Structure 1
Amino acid sequence: MVSPFLGIPYAQPPVGDLRLRRSRVLDSQFDGGKYEAKEYSPFCPGIGGDNVGFEQSEDCLTINVLRPAGTTENDALPVGFWIYGGGFQMGGNADQRYNGSYMLQRAVEMDKPFVYVQVNYRTSSLGFLSSNELRAEGNVNLGLYDQRLALGWVQDNIAAFGGDPSKVTIWGESAGAMSVSAHLLGYGLQSTPLFHGAILESGNPFTSSFASPEAIQPRFDSVVESAGCSGSDDVLACLRGVSFKTFNESASPWSWSPVVDGELISAYPSDVMAQGNFVRVPILVGELLHCVPVANTDEGSAFGSKGINTTEQLVENLGVRYPNLTSDSVSGLLEYYPNDPSQGCPFNTGDGVLSTGLQDKRSNAIYGDIQFGAGRRFLAEQFSAAGQPVYSYRFDQPAENATVQTGTTHFVEVAYVFSYPFKTANTLGTRPGDAELAHLVTSQWISFIVDGTPNNNGVDGAPTWPDYRDGAANFVHRRHGSVIETDDFRKDGIALINGLGWQAGV
């Protein structure tokens, strides 16, 4: 059994004049000194399918706390702090795919109980609108600062729920993992009291490139004009004063993501890590086989450019997506990622080409490694070199409804992590071995949150997950038998990518 506390405000509602400002701590007590934490709060407004069917409101900065039934204030249990993904454009802590109840039940079975925390943070334009005007105020990357404030709330309040504020593991998938990366590199610090471990699923400091202020300003100016604020003496005051409908319709044509702000994101991540300025904590990091290391095998199937039929088209597309790439870098990518479908993504699918484009498997492999694979390996190398335990994985189990086109693509591991048994758009499979794989993955994640290692999982016959410090290796998750592999695939191509730095906008 699980005791849930839902929809707890951790900040002042970011509405009215607080729209497009960093979230602020609550400045008043709840009515009567109590809060009925019985209902999920609305999602923060966003753009995308994850928000469909959910109530959305600007007044959305809340936390959910789930704990095993019978937990008392003095239990001092470890804490898992979950940050949802959604490309920084969508998502919410009421999404049942992130229901932690089944993990907590398994944790009790393992005699490793913990407290599960979910945070709502602003996404899309409300969370990541950027401009010279907002930079001057210090009001960019608002969604990340929401998360940071929520981590502070945990430090101040989680003990009352039976959690230990000194044993917090931050944890996320996709944009959630990119958020975890931002906190690992936050302010260029090497230590922080906010967390003591991190789990990154299909995301790392280099998954998202950072647009320059010069590239972003014209988008902001178009928002101002569309909202009817271009003639205002104070365009930000005007944007804060228009209706949400007007604001949203003006900003939604653009995709808004984190930027280098000189504070939380102090510089390009490649420069921050080169200087060794990252928080020293144990990490568990991975990818899917979606052609993206540190996640799933074929991450690239979700993020590669499609409709690529010739090398010339691929070169042109690389120039559009990464305009700072030099001709030597492009030539290197073409050499290490040849026009050979048998080497493309989805991997291990032979000589067949994808229906979308003759060189789309090549495109998938390149973009998958740029956004996921290379960064995962670099992160593992840097943290292990700094003396921190690192557990790297590659999730190599396609979803039940996967095709040759998708492979083991983005997000597929989430259902296995949470052991969520009900049908969703990204559902847990019902094939022989699916339940057993979910049991293993859930148990490994619990073991890491509680003990700092995935190996105290209590699953008979599970391979020992090696520490990256003892040699570069990945735990490869498969329903028909998980294995350990040396982490040296696509060695030359990934090494080239990890040397790109500013050329890739990271």
Structure 2
Amino acid sequence: MANRLFASMVAVLLAIIAIYYQELLDTFHPTPNLKVVDSARDITYLGSLSFAGIEHFQNIFYAEAPTGPRRFAAPVPTRPVKGSVIDATRAGAWCPQGTGDILPFTSSVTNISENCLSLRIARPPGTRKDAKLPVAVWIHGGGHALGSASDILYEPDGLVKLAAADGLPLVYVGINYRLGLFGFATSEALIERKDTNAGLRDQRAALEWVRDNIESFGGDPKRVTVVGQSVGASDIGLQLTAFGGDQDVPFQQAVMMSGGPGLNFNSQPDLVASNTAAISQQVGCGGGKDLQTLECLRGIPFEQLTNLSVTASRAARPPFGEAYFYPTIDDDFIQDRPSQLTRARKFTKGIPIIASWVTNDGAWYALPTTATDHEVLGSFGLWLHKLSESTKEKLLHLYPLDDFEHMVKSEHEGQISPQYYRAAQINRDIWFTCPVLDFTWQYVKNGGVGASQVRLYEFNQTRYTPVFDSMGVSMWGVAHLSDIPYLFYNDHLRAGADNSDPQLALARDFSRIIIQFVHGDPKGGGDRLQSWPPAFSNEPSKSSTGDVPSHISVRLFGGPHGSESATCSDSTTETDMEVMTYAEKALHWEKLFSRCAFLNGQQFREEAGV
């Protein structure tokens, strides 16, 4: 009995020590001598050192507080007075959004404010001002409804530390931008004043701040790679097609993780304008489209607007409120449907791209109880509400139920229907895989970059398996967000996630490839990038069947058979299948050519409004 009691006490003590240690990992402490001086502007930034030894500068404002007359308006760049000393030792507020917990491995949202247009910078210790290091800029996801660069999910220390250890140091920048109603409200008055899509304009302003100021932090403004996930990736595509491609973008490369601009459904402004007017009516400003209504909204307390808009968004688009306030055509920043802009060659050229999806990207868009054709179609019906009956029938035909029966695990027998996996796969392809394939293919095909400058990957591993098990959603598998901790080489994921050596080994491999891409330099592990074949043929005009290429090459990361590259063709025969590798068979099973040919075809694109 005494031994058991002692063992229990030891276990409790170890748990307390573990919690304390975790808090230390997340602690930043001001360092008197850690400062950056922008001598040209006579501005001093005070930084802090993380427990991992990485230098951080946080809550640096790139735009004035978007309050009062600046609410629902394009960002106004900050102009600190000469001699300013900016305290950048602590994280700033998140942009207005719903508060509370989101997922077990993400931060709880507690501190929100309109004065949120800030960025965070992380760099290796001792970085000199003249270091000229390449820069990786992170645009977070969250469905334009939630998120922040300060979320623990995006902790950059592992990435920065690994890059420096490999002799390929970089500067990391994460940006906050307006979300929800505050970032994407629209009306005739806003369109006339060119104040729409404020969240996208925030991103552009932050990238311009990096271009103009990052040199003081040891970064090279001519070697900036923008990295985004989910709508962060989609927004990179919208930045490339912004203003009809008539303006250069303030970055030189892009990594688009699980997202292309094609997931910007229903891009005409009608729906978002109606949602904006509904909130306006609730606060007593009327539902008008004129300047008077806009001025009234600018006088309402942000807490009231946040509560009402978040409640309305989540009620209409549960659970997070995605696709209630989002980017729309405004004849300025977004001049047409994104798929039309790429086909019309209205994009900024010369940007090498890595783009991707994860194996079960659509897993959480379908209810685990999905068991009928009607429920399969309903899994995306809230977002795609203009699909014709013929389109719905075609989707069911392209994704026959027989294809998914083998996916039901023995422990789920009798509980999970193959219809769930069918719905998850359709959602994955609609939201992520086919938009990614469409954007990158059209970008190459229409002269954006040479075929050798675009690569694709599919991620087939997750560190969240124990977390999903504890949440009761083990069927999610390699769900959306799964590749993020591998990118950031986070070795202490929370909530019981898998921090085992094999997972960290894969994280090192994947993170190193992205670091290599950011550097754009074949030294120090360049073979990893060089051995990754381009996504498309060198002669795209001869390798097309309508809206999809005739063959693609994809790098598969993780999975039971390890990482390898695979090439798949639309003319694959049964004989070809016999000599295929595991990765090639897996890619062939996804039927991307026939499915994306329809999802990227004119009929579906018009009905989806992408």
TM-score by length of 1: 0.89
Structure 1 residues 368 and 479: CA distance shift in structure 2, 3 A:
closer
5+ unaligned residues in a row in structure 2: which ranges? 1-52, 314-323, 538-550, 569-587
Say if 1:479 and 1:431 are closer, same or farther in 2 by CA, change over 3 A. Answer: farther
Q: Is the deviation greater in 216-225 or in 267-276? A: 216-225
Contact 1:103 1:419 in 2 (8 A): yes
* 1:215-234: CA deviation from partner (whole Å, max 9, x where unpaired): 33332222112112129981
The answer as to whether partners of 2:135 and 2:220 remain within 8 angstroms in 1 is yes
Root mean square deviation, CA, Å:
2.8
| SS of match in other structure, 2:255 | strand
Counterpart secondary structure, 1:65: strand
Instruction: Indicate yes or no: 2:471 matched with 1:369.
Output: no
For residues 354-393 of structure 1, give each alpha carbon's deviation from its aligned partner in whole angstroms, at most 9, with x where no partner exists.
8465622222111210111111222332334331511211
1:502 corresponds in structure 2 to 606
In 2 relative to 1, CA 265–229 (structure 1 residues): closer, same or farther, beyond 3 Å? same
- 1:273-352 aligned within 5 A: 273-279=342-348, 280-287=350-357, 296-304=358-366, 307-315=369-377, 321-340=383-402, 342=404
Q: Which residue of 1 aligns with 2:340?
A: 271
C-alpha change, 1:451 and 1:234, in structure 2 (3 Å) is same
* Counterpart in the other structure of 1:228: 284
Cα distance in 2 for partners of 1:338, 1:457 equals 46
The match for 2:457 is: 393
Identify which range, 349-358 or 32-41, moves more after superposition. Answer: 349-358
**CA drift at 1:85:** 1.0
- For residue 485 of structure 1, what is the aligned residue in structure 2? 566
Is 1:7 aligned with 2:59? yes
Paired residue type of 2:158 = Y
Question: 2:405 & 2:564 partners in 1: Cα distance?
Answer: 21
Q: Which secondary structure does the structure 1 equivalent of 2:183 belong to? A: helix
- Cα distance 1:355–1:142, how it changes in 2: closer, same or farther (>3 A)? farther
Partner SS state of residue 401, structure 2:
coil
Cα distance in 1, alignment partners of residues 519 and 530 from structure 2: 19
Structure with the larger RCO, 1 or 2 (CA within 8 Å, 6+ apart) = 1
2:306 paired residue number: 248
Q: Give aligned-pair identity as a percent.
A: 27
Letter in 2 for 1:239: L
Q: In 2 relative to 1, CA 432–261 (structure 1 residues): closer, same or farther, beyond 3 Å?
A: same
Task: Tell me how far apart the structure 2 counterparts of residues 357 and 504 of structure 1 sit (CA, whole Å).
Answer: 27
List structure 1 runs of 4+ shifted beyond 6 angstroms.
350-354, 459-463
Supply the AA of the counterpart residue of 2:94.
Answer: F
1:462 & 1:80 partners in 2: Cα distance? 17
Task: Pick one of 398, 413, 434 that aligns with 2:483.
Answer: 413
The higher radius of gyration belongs to 2
Indicate the larger mover: 9-18 or 246-255: 246-255
Q: Where does 1:133-148 land on structure 2 (aligned, <5 Å)?
A: 133-148=189-204
* Separation in 2, partners of 1:7, 1:139: 24
User: What is the TM-score of this pair, normalised by structure 2?
Assistant: 0.75
Q: Conserved in 2, the CA contact under 8 Å of 1:324 and 1:502? A: no
The residue aligned with 2:93 is: 42
> Would you tell me which structure has more helix in proportion to its own residues?
2
Provide the C-alpha distance between the structure 2 equivalents of 1:351 and 1:37, rounded to a whole number of angstroms: 50
Aligned-partner Cα distance in 1 for 2:59–2:380:
43
Cα distance, 1:34 vs structure 2 = 2.1
Structure 1: 5+ residue runs without aligned partners?
288-295
CA distance in 2, matches of 1:128, 1:4: 30
Matches within 5 A, 1:86-97: 86-97=142-153
> 8 Å contact 1:51–1:91 — kept in the other structure?
no
Which amino acid is the alignment partner of residue 138 of structure 1? K
Moved more, 409-418 or 184-193: 184-193
Counterparts of 1:88 and 1:200, CA distance in 2: 16
Q: Which amino acid aligns with 1:240?
A: R
Match of 2:68 in 1: 16
Counterpart of 1:242 in 2: which secondary structure? coil
1:379 alignment partner, one of 392, 417, 439 = 439
1:307 positional shift: 4.4
Within-5 A mapping of 1:405-484: 405-425=475-495, 429-451=498-520, 458=525, 464-470=531-537, 472-478=552-558, 481-484=562-565
Does the C-alpha gap of structure 1 residues 298 and 383 become closer, same or farther in structure 2, counting only changes over 3 Å? Answer: same
The answer as to whether partners of 1:433 and 1:479 remain within 8 angstroms in 2 is no
Report the number of matched residues. 492
> 1:170-203 CA deviation, whole Å, 9 max, x = no partner?
1111121111111122222177251110001111
- The superposition leaves residues 231-271 of structure 1 with CA deviations (integer Å, 9 ceiling, x where unpaired) of 99811111111112222233221231111222222211110
How is 1:348-359 mapped onto 2 (pairs within 5 angstroms)?
355=415, 359=419
In the TM superposition, residue 146 of structure 1 has moved relative to its aligned partner by: 0.5
User: Structure 1's 195 and 312: CA in aligned 2 closer, same or farther, altered over 3 A?
Assistant: same
Verify the 8 A CA contact 2:556 2:566 in the aligned structure 1. yes
CA 1:133–1:435 in 2, change beyond 3 Å: closer, same or farther? same
Moved more, 68-77 or 324-333: 324-333
**C-alpha distance in structure 2 between counterparts of 1:5 and 1:364, whole Å:** 40
User: 1:290 — aligned with what?
Assistant: none
Contact between 2:405 and 2:418, CA under 8 Å: does it hold in 1? no
Aligned residue for 2:329?
260
Match of 1:98 in 2: 154
